[in-house]
Amino acid sequence: MNKSKLFSLLQYVIPQHLLSRLTGRLAECRIAWVKNQLIKLFIKHFNVDMSEALQEEPTAYANFNDFFTRELKPDAREILADPTQLVSPADGAISELGLLQHGQLLQAKGINYSLTRLLGGNLEKAQPFMGGSFATIYLSPSDYHRVHMPLQGRLLETIYVPGKLFSVNQATADNVPDLFARNERLVCFFETPAGPMALILVGAMIVAGIETVWDGQVAPPARQVTLKDFNDPQPVVLEKGQEMGRFKLGSTAILVFGPDAVVWNDYLQNGTKVKLGEALATLKVKN
């Protein structure tokens, strides 16, 4: 048995949520010597470039989570202004992308999973995206962990879906069926110039929380499906490149669009590194 398969199998038996919540408590620790040591070890191990951070001094952060979700300097990432271009919502690497085939997304070579299940199990919510396209972006521990808007959008509703907390790295994606549709996640539905868009923030092993700019921390809440409607007189409208959420420790963001909405750039494939603000696709703007 290879190491990737063994790593994936072990995740079925370890207490995923307990381990993640305990890690979350450690990441919130404000004891100076503890949090400073954690941050310095992390920077060294993952070769984090602190020159990009608005606060470059590691010991200035209140706790590990404060460091992990650090803000970048205003000029650290250029958001492509071209209105015909969809930009990357985060730093990371393309896990998979392409067309939705028969209501299925590609997770890894030879492994597909259900769009309906990913979006919370409601076929009506999934219907506008059938025949559309998707992109899955993996955020490694060393990446910047705020997620931004790939284009302008008005928030319609969110669905928090409780679930497992498998790791979301390539080794697990290659070996755990329905990975992204099994893990804890927040599904955000937007109305955009390219039609409907779903932006899904997927939780993972030792991820201590998922936050949004409109609701603060939304995971881990009560362990039940939670739907929130944002169609009110003061809607949440976010501009292209504006922050929409963040992960406390690494995970995955998935973009889903309807039919004939975007054309992915040809050079993008499994493993392609991307940066926040870089062009991912050409938009087919809806009238």
SS3 260: coil
Residue with tokens 């937007």: 190
Question: What span, in angstroms and rounded, lies between the C-alpha atoms of 143 and 249?
Answer: 10
43 — phi, psi (to 5°)?
Answer: -60, -45
SS3 26: helix
Hey, what are 146's tokens? 């705020």
What amino acid positions are annotated as catalytic residues? 91, 148, 251
> CA angle, 242 as apex, 139 and 145 as ends, to 5°?
20
Q: Is 13 left (phi over 0), alpha (psi -120 to 50) or beta?
A: alpha
Please check whether residue 132 is in contact with residue 261, taking contact to mean a CB–CB distance below 8 angstroms.
yes
Q: Which H or E run contains 248?
A: strand 243-248
CA dihedral sign, ordered 215, 226, 230, 146: positive
Which residues lie across from 210 on neighbouring strands? 219, 247
Question: What span, in angstroms and rounded, lies between the C-alpha atoms of 239 and 185?
Answer: 23
SS3 212: strand
